[in-house]
């Protein structure tokens, strides 16, 4: 199902610090071979994870955005900078009338970016009206829409951009746009997962179009290093266009395709597999990208996987927090730090992948195709241009790269709720354990003359208190270990035997 926001922007949007956005868009449009990055919709959030009662801060193509839902139920997106004193609007609050109020001085804005109220002019109606109607009082607003469980933003605040609110994202799955989210036997197999990655978008695309790394980088999670049987990937003839390309893939016992569809979709499909995986790689800011993932099931495909196994997989994935910490986070941790360092090695070599990479095996055909597409059609990729390299963060530590809380947990409703439950359980286990231990000690003191063994064996209450204290200690330790899964887990390849 697609929900469109058709309200136009202010007639005269304010000039902002994102003038480079317009300049980059013009540069891209001047080159017919270049993909028009600013002409397309991008997912920025999972709808069920977005709290409608407060604004949210995101980045898209290097532009900071504030998202909120207005009184009419429409999600809005404006540049995250108040025109008054450049304060982040995402730190503000959503008022009852659906406007967004800046937390710094209280200016209020509607979904079109127009300023509706300036508290400091409350006693001068004429000055209030003149100021609110001024060009410089507006904030840049961007079109939004809801589709297939995601919130999408079009990074074009011009009238031409707002004219596209009636168009579905080119990267959307047509069947998922149908009423009910399914059509022709195609539906979503498991829910959406997202994570902010300290990795550039071009590096993410190269990685996700490379199936041969799975056996090694993800050994012990989704694959096994001993299963490599000679992967082959090759660009399909005549598929390389400005909109993307498709590669044939032979990996172990599977044959299929890996497709890159600009601006942000990667799709893997394999013969005999009833479901296929979708990845969205969204450029956010220099050195970072937002990763989205789900699986689509097609009931028309004759499956090589037994029905009971599919049912178990479906059941396990339905426990979202468990699926995220044991599968999604664990898989990404397998190569995130590798990619973080690799892309800096490439930048240090002047981004000359032909000179730095040595790829003698046919497994790297899809990597070559990816880099060729980026060179030919994607060289204006926002946040990945040569000048963006200086705005990237310095090389981070492994612990910083694999940190889970800020990258995923705090933005995931299932994981954040599970973490709260774990914390409450930890407190209760600690309190109950202390009470049980106190009871046991008291029994020892009261029954002191007979030694330690006497009160334990003669009083059932003492034995129960001792057992309870031990059980609480075990539960406490288990919950502490579980808590780490939501915060940070080191990934040591040398220990993956």
Rounded-to-integer distance, Cα 137 and Cα 107, Å: 10
* Residue with tokens 């839902």, as numbered in its chain: 69
Which burial class, exposed, middle or buried, applies to 360 when counting CB atoms under 10 A from its CB (0-12, 13-18, 19+)? exposed
Write down the H helix ranges in 142-289.
Answer: 159-162, 201-208, 214-217
Rounded-to-integer distance, Cα 43 and Cα 264, Å: 9
Which burial class, exposed, middle or buried, applies to 173 when counting CB atoms under 10 A from its CB (0-12, 13-18, 19+)? buried
Rounded-to-integer distance, Cα 420 and Cα 263, Å: 36
Rounded-to-integer distance, Cα 375 and Cα 460, Å: 76
Rounded-to-integer distance, Cα 301 and Cα 67, Å: 39
33-55 core/surface letters (b: 16 or more CB in 10 A; e: else): ebbbbbbbbbbbbbbebbeeeeb
How much is the pTM?
0.89
Contact 76, 68 (CB under 8 A): yes
Residue 236 tokens read as 């399909």
Which tens digits make up the pLDDT trace of 266-316?
Answer: 999 998 888 889 999 999 999 999 999 999 988 888 777 777 877 788 888
pLDDT tens digits for the chain (497 residues)?
545 554 555 443 433 344 444 454 445 444 668 999 999 999 999 999 999 999 999 999 999 999 999 999 999 999 999 999 999 999 999 999 999 999 999 999 999 999 999 999 999 999 989 989 988 999 999 999 999 999 999 999 999 999 999 899 999 998 888 877 777 888 888 899 999 999 999 999 999 999 999 999 999 888 888 888 899 999 999 999 999 999 999 998 889 999 999 999 999 999 888 888 999 999 999 999 999 999 998 888 877 777 787 778 888 888 999 999 999 999 999 999 999 999 999 999 999 999 999 999 999 999 999 999 999 999 889 999 999 999 999 999 999 999 999 999 999 999 999 999 999 999 999 999 999 888 888 877 776 545 555 555 456 777 888 899 999 999 999 999 999 999 999 999 999 88
* Range list of β-strands (E), 112-219: 115-117, 141-142, 144-147, 150-153, 186-197
Length of the chain: 497
Contact 279, 197 (CB under 8 A): no
């Amino acid at each position: 199902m697609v929900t469109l926001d058709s309200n136009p922007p202010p007639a005269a949007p304010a000039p902002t610090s994102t003038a480079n956005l317009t300049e980059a868009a013009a540069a891209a449009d001047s080159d017919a071979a270049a993909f028009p990055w600013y002409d397309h919709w991008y997912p920025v959030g999972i709808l069920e994870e977005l709290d409608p009662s407060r604004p949210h801060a995101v980045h898209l193509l290097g532009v900071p955005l504030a998202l909120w839902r207005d009184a009419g139920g429409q999600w809005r997106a404006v540049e995250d900078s108040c025109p008054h004193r450049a304060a982040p609007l995402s730190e503000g609050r959503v008022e009852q009338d659906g406007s967004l109020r800046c937390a710094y001085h209280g200016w209020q804005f509607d979904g079109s970016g127009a300023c509706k109220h300036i508290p400091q002019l409350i006693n001068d109606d004429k000055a209030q009206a003149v100021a609110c109607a001024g060009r410089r009082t507006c904030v840049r607003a961007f079109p939004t829409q809801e589709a297939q469980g995601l919130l999408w933003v079009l990074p074009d605040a011009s009238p031409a951009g707002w004219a596209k609110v009636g168009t579905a994202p080119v990267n959307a799955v047509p069947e998922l746009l149908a009423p009910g989210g399914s059509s022709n036997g195609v539906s979503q197999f498991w829910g959406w997962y997202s994570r902010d990655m300290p990795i550039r978008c071009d590096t993410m695309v190269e990685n996700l179009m490379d199936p041969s790394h799975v056996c090694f980088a993800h050994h012990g999670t989704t694959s096994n290093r001993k299963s490599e049987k000679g992967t082959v990937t090759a660009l399909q003839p005549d598929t390389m266009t400005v909109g993307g390309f498709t590669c044939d893939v032979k990996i172990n016992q599977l044959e299929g395709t890996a497709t890159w569809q600009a601006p942000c979709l990667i799709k893997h499909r394999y013969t005999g597999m009833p479901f296929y995986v979708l990845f969205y790689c969204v450029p956010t800011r220099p050195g970072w990208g937002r990763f989205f993932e789900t699986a689509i099931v097609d009931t028309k495909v004759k499956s090589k996987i037994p029905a009971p196994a599919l049912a178990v997989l479906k059941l396990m994935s339905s426990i979202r927090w468990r699926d995220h910490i044991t599968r999604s986070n664990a898989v990404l941790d397998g190569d995130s730090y590798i990619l973080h360092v690799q892309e800096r090695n490439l930048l240090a070599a002047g981004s000359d992948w032909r000179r730095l990479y040595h790829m003698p095996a046919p497994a790297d055909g899809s990597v070559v195709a990816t880099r060729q597409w980026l060179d030919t059609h994607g060289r204006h990729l926002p946040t990945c241009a040569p000048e963006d390299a200086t705005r990237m963060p310095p090389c981070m530590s492994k612990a910083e790269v694999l940190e889970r809380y800020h990258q995923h947990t705090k933005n995931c409703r299932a994981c954040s709720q599970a973490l709260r439950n774990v914390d409450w359980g930890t407190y209760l286990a600690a309190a109950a354990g202390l009470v049980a231990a106190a009871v046991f000690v008291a029994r020892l003191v009261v029954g002191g003359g007979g030694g330690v063994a006497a009160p334990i064996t003669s009083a059932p209450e003492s034995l129960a208190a001792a057992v309870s204290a031990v059980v609480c200690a075990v539960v406490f330790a288990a919950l502490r270990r579980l808590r780490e899964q939501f915060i940070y887990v080191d990934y040591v390849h040398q220990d993956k035997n």
